[in-house]
């Protein structure tokens, strides 16, 4: 499974070069991550590129994540000296707080300037973390295309935020190889890697494995199961039986079961789930 997620299309290289070339034009960077996978959705290349540039971490899709886990991560980042906010770009939750933070930053930048100028920002992140939805919320119009597939944004574009600030959108960027297989899996679970290059049945099986370990009650409730099996494949087959995903000859329709599991996880139907927890320190 993991080897299928090691990829680096040409447009990813171009995006890296685009970010590098335009950083000098902005005062701050908004890095958007998926609140369900706040570690895996942070691209190490962005750390390398952004370096000491002021950065705001946005844990987006907070409505799909475990609220307690999200609060723990926000506290973790703030303790480390980062600016961090929990946001649901689809509903606008957290947007007022973000705008106030940006306005404070702009005022500080203009404090000693005779001629005031709007804050210039760059928005970055891996594919499918909701950058376009956040932009549309900030600009109060449909400025950027959105979708539940990675790779919607194709090139850079300057946009104007409702308060006059300037925002540079960039395409989602992954990195050449996921050294930790779990990182690749988590990104694939959340749709940051294109389904077309994945073994969806194998991916769904791994999803069942992690949900069974971390959120057993949610998966039992959603699919009407009284128990989960030791082998994830048996649990997946029980879900197929419950849903009636059976082919002629009483064969399990694994493809339909896999797509259902992935779609229902990604849309939050199974429940509020976070795969990565803040490390508890003694």
Q: What is the pLDDT along the chain (282 residues), one digit of tens a residue?
A: 544 455 555 567 788 888 888 999 999 999 999 999 999 999 888 888 888 899 999 999 999 999 999 999 999 999 988 899 999 999 999 999 999 999 999 999 999 888 889 999 999 999 999 999 999 999 987 554 444 444 444 456 789 998 899 999 888 888 766 778 899 999 999 999 889 888 999 999 999 999 999 999 999 999 999 999 999 999 999 999 999 999 999 999 999 999 999 999 999 999 999 999 987 443
CB-based contact 22:156 (threshold 8 Å): yes
Was domain 199-266 assigned CATH 1.10.1580.10?
Answer: yes
Rounded CA separation 120/260 (Å): 41
CB-based contact 132:145 (threshold 8 Å): yes
Rounded CA separation 243/184 (Å): 29
pTM (two decimals): 0.87
Structure-derived torsion over alpha carbons of residues 239, 242, 247, 253, reported in degrees to the nearest 10: -20
- Using only the alpha carbons of the chain, give its radius of gyration: 20
Could you tell me the two tokens for 241? Answer: 């039986």
Was domain 2-169 assigned CATH 3.40.50.300?
Answer: yes
């Amino acid at each position: 499974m993991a080897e299928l997620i090691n990829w680096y299309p040409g447009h990813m290289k171009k995006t890296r070069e685009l970010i590098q070339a335009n950083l000098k034009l902005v005062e701050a960077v908004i890095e958007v991550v998926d609140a369900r996978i706040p570690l895996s959705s942070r691209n190490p290349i962005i750390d390398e590129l952004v370096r000491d540039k002021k950065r705001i971490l946005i844990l987006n899709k907070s409505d799909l994540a475990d609220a307690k886990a999200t609060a723990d991560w926000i506290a973790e980042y703030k303790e480390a000296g980062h600016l961090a906010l929990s946001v649901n770009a689809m509903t606008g939750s957290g947007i007022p707080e973000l705008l106030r933070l940006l306005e404070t930053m702009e005022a500080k930048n203009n404090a000693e300037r005779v001629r005031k100028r709007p804050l210039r920002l760059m928005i970055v992140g891996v594919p499918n973390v909701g950058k376009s939805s956040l932009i549309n919320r900030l600009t109060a119009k449909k400025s950027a295309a959105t979708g539940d597939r990675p790779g919607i944004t194709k090139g850079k574009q300057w946009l104007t935020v409702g308060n006059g600030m300037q925002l540079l959108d960039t395409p989602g960027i992954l990195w050449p190889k996921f050294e930790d297989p779990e990182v690749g899996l988590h990104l694939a679970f959340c749709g940051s890697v294109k389904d077309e290059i994945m073994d969806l049945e194998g991916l769904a099986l791994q999803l069942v494995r992690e949900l069974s370990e971390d959120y057993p009650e949610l998966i039992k409730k959603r699919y009407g199961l009284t128990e989960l099996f030791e082998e994830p494949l048996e649990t997946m087959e029980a879900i197929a039986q419950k849903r009636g995903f059976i082919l002629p000859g009483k064969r399990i329709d694994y493809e339909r079961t896999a797509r259902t599991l992935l779609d229902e996880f990604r849309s939050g139907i199974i429940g509020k789930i976070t795969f990565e927890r803040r490390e508890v320190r003694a």
